[in-house]
Amino acid sequence: MGEGAAAKFNGDVSIVLCGEAGQGIQTVEHILTQTLKLSGYNVFSSQEYMSRIRGGNNSTSIRVSSKRVSAPIDRMDILIPFSKGALTHVSKRLSEDTLVLGEEGIFGDEYKGNNSINVPISDIASEVGGRIYSNTIAAAIVAAIFKVDIETINSFLRQRFGGKDEAIIRNNIEAARRGYEVSSNLIDNRIRISIQRDTQVSNDIIMDGVEALALGAIAGGCNFISFYPMSPSTGVAILLAQHSKEFGIVVEQVEDEISAMNMVLGAWYAGARAMASTSGGGFALMVEGLSLAGMIESPVVVHLAQRPAPATGLPTRTEQSDLNLALYSGHGEFPRIILTPGTIEDAFYLTQKAFNLADKYQVPVFILTDQYLLESHYNIASLDPSLIKQERYIVGTDEDYKRFKLTDNGISPRGVPGFGNGLVIVDSDEHDDEGHITEDVGVRKSMVEKRLKKLDLIKDEIIPPELIGNPNYDNLVITWGSNYNVAMEAIGNLRRDDISLLHFRQVYPLHQSTANYLRKAEKTIIIENNATSQFGSLIKLYTGFDIDKKILKYNGLPFSVEEVEANLRSI
């Protein structure tokens, strides 16, 4: 391959790693994001991958920037292919400015451009101890391009492989040294990086949505989680299982999602703070249990991690198509709350808050995420679990205790077995105030009204939407959940003061201010990762306003900054 002029990257660099499942691309991502952050660089990474253990082609995108970044872009400045077919896989993102960095024997048949550097990574890895060290060499090459001190990466390698044999640690450190050597000999004169470092960034924490949500559950007092593995939700349960002894959490992997939901209800009945973590297909099996929660007025926290459906759909891709499932699931009428984190910080704080809301109002609380949010990494300043205090609403019972006592606000005092002298009776049939089965039509009417009356109280605690931008806007862009960061950056790139963003972290019940925001706009635009604008329909149902323009995506991939920006310009 010929050599072009030196590639210059200013302010923001997009690096894409592409290869087959099983080649360890995530290892490269982890080494790079951590060591770059430790070196004072802002980083963001996201993945797209097939639902197979080996084979196919997957890619990981890493942004390195002078400013905080938290959204994916299409632009591909540096591509590192690990397998044949990699360039074809990302061909729509490939431009004449993309620098292809890797083994010519891998990409030579696919790449016809004149902007590549041949690096014999596999040969070097064989000299070190085997092709297994190719990942460390590739990570070290990129780290060297960004002038990361070699001791920073060596220290990280010692930590990452600390439990391995000493020879493995030595070989990885040698692989890193060889990667730095290659960068110095082959690459230094071909790439010019101009990105500001910030020493404060090295003190940041870097995490993904899975980690943030799991930590939020711990901060919220979660001490029981029941689940059946289903991507992309499984990581939350795995992380809680890894730290279960530290925080006193019972983690149950059960035979199916029906059991998972019923165990969670049983745990709340016994006084625990419990969560069910699942995805759409798994939650479909939990729906009968959800109605049971509605009838017995049990608190329950459900983490519903969205992915493309129906049925198995695209099990490792992303979508926002389960809002209606969360909103309308369960037979009968009973209140619920739906929270939709848009950032890693949201995933932490909203999950923490979910346990208080469920406990206080004795209703199901959904935390609606998606694959993109859960598996994206970026650096943030900190998380403070003390901002939200744990609120407990269990009462001691006396001999006259009535679990479903009729009250003015619809909330009955919730007791648990063994805490006091009263008997705590619950039943899936309609019941009287003590919990005994009844078919009295008058009691039935009172109980339905009592349960629904909670909505009036919940409305006083709805998280209001956030308006970002000029309060005197002409055009109002509406987002919910994980589209927050991408919309923020896209709108910022437009540099227009007539466009503002209205973002929802709670979509149900809908905040009463929503209609006022819509009324002020000359044009409204909604951005959703689904085909039917589910949130747009919900807004119309409760406000009467039909959103003017809809930017919808449902191919299994998240929005990029460029495509949101282009859509907004065209509108």
Which pLDDT tens digit goes with each residue over 205-263? 999 999 999 999 999 999 999 999 999 999 999 999 999 999 999 999 999 999 999 99
pLDDT band at 198 (very low <50, low <70, confident <90, very high): very high
What is the average pLDDT across 503-517?
98
The overall average pLDDT reported for the chain is 95
**pLDDT for position 3:** 52
**pLDDT for position 343:** 98
**pLDDT for position 5:** 61
Query: Is 131 or 217 the better-scoring residue by pLDDT?
Result: 217
Q: Say if residues 220 and 358 touch (Cβ distance below 8 Å).
A: no
What is the average pLDDT across 367-380?
98
**Residue 346 in tokens:** 């949201």
pLDDT band at 4 (very low <50, low <70, confident <90, very high): low
Please say if the pLDDT value at position 449 is more than 70.
yes
The CATH number of residue 314's host domain is: 3.40.50.970
pLDDT band at 269 (very low <50, low <70, confident <90, very high): very high
Q: Do residue 381 and residue 404 come from a single domain?
A: no
Tell me which residue range forms the domain holding 125.
7-203
**Residue 48 in tokens:** 């797209």
Q: Do residue 326 and residue 214 come from a single domain?
A: yes
CA distances from 323 to 73, 344, 541 (A): 26, 20, 14
Residue matched to tokens 């290869």: 19
Q: Would residue 510 count as lying in a domain?
A: yes
Q: Do residue 336 and residue 239 come from a single domain?
A: yes
Q: Do residue 412 and residue 470 come from a single domain?
A: no
Q: Do residue 476 and residue 352 come from a single domain?
A: no
Give the total residue count for the chain: 571
**pLDDT for position 9:** 85
**pLDDT for position 185:** 82
Name every residue whose Cβ is closer than 8 Å to that of residue 508 and which is 6 or more positions away in sequence: 326, 327, 336, 337, 338, 538
Please choose, from the candidates 279, 238, 237, the residue with its C-alpha nearest in 3D space to the C-alpha of residue 369.
Answer: 279
**pLDDT for position 23:** 86
Q: Do residue 154 and residue 186 come from a single domain?
A: yes
Q: Would residue 265 count as lying in a domain?
A: yes
How many CB atoms are closer than 10 A to CB 206?
21
Q: What distance in Å separates the CA atoms of residue 66 and residue 339, rounded to the nearest whole number?
A: 32
How many CB atoms are closer than 10 A to CB 387?
11
Q: Would residue 2 count as lying in a domain?
A: no
pLDDT band at 22 (very low <50, low <70, confident <90, very high): confident
Name the least confident of 152-161, 210-219, 357-366.
152-161
Please say if the pLDDT value at position 1 is more than 50.
no
pLDDT (tens digit per residue) in 59-114: 999 999 999 999 999 999 999 999 999 999 999 999 999 999 999 999 999 998 88
Domain boundary among 369, 387, 405: 387
Please say if the pLDDT value at position 533 is more than 50.
yes
The CATH number of residue 513's host domain is: 3.40.50.920
Give percent of the chain above pLDDT 70: 99
Q: Would residue 522 count as lying in a domain?
A: yes
Q: Would residue 31 count as lying in a domain?
A: yes
Q: Do residue 372 and residue 431 come from a single domain?
A: no
What is the average pLDDT across 397-417?
97
Q: For residue 532, with 0-12 CB atoms within 10 Å meaning exposed, 13-18 middle and 19 or more buried, which class applies?
A: middle
Q: What distance in Å separates the CA atoms of residue 320 and residue 309, rounded to the nearest whole number?
A: 10
Please say if the pLDDT value at position 411 is more than 90.
yes
Query: Is the backbone peptide bond immediately before 232 cis, with ω within 30 degrees of 0?
Result: yes
The H or E element that residue 47 is part of is: strand 42-48
Name the least confident of 161-175, 268-282, 292-306, 452-466.
161-175
What is the average pLDDT across 126-134?
93
**What's the helix, strand, coil split of the chain in %, to 5?**
40, 20, 40
pLDDT band at 7 (very low <50, low <70, confident <90, very high): confident
How many domains does the chain contain in total? 4
**Residue 185 in tokens:** 């000999």
Please say if the pLDDT value at position 2 is more than 60.
no
Q: Would residue 439 count as lying in a domain?
A: yes
Domain boundary among 437, 461, 485: 461
Q: Would residue 1 count as lying in a domain?
A: no
Q: Do residue 377 and residue 417 come from a single domain?
A: no
Please say if the pLDDT value at position 458 is more than 60.
yes
Domain boundary among 177, 203, 229: 203
Q: For residue 54, with 0-12 CB atoms within 10 Å meaning exposed, 13-18 middle and 19 or more buried, which class applies?
A: exposed
How many CB atoms are closer than 10 A to CB 170?
15
The CATH number of residue 32's host domain is: 3.40.920.10
pLDDT (tens digit per residue) in 159-193: 998 888 899 999 999 999 999 999 988 787 788 88
Q: Would residue 316 count as lying in a domain?
A: yes
Q: Do residue 211 and residue 182 come from a single domain?
A: no
Give percent of the chain above pLDDT 90: 92
Q: Do residue 355 and residue 287 come from a single domain?
A: yes
Query: Is 344 or 7 the better-scoring residue by pLDDT?
Result: 344
**pLDDT for position 190:** 82
Q: Do residue 182 and residue 285 come from a single domain?
A: no
Q: For residue 56, with 0-12 CB atoms within 10 Å meaning exposed, 13-18 middle and 19 or more buried, which class applies?
A: middle
Scored b (16 or more CB within 10 A) or e, 98-129 reads bbbbbbeebbbebbebebbbbbbbbebbeebe
Q: Do residue 241 and residue 195 come from a single domain?
A: no
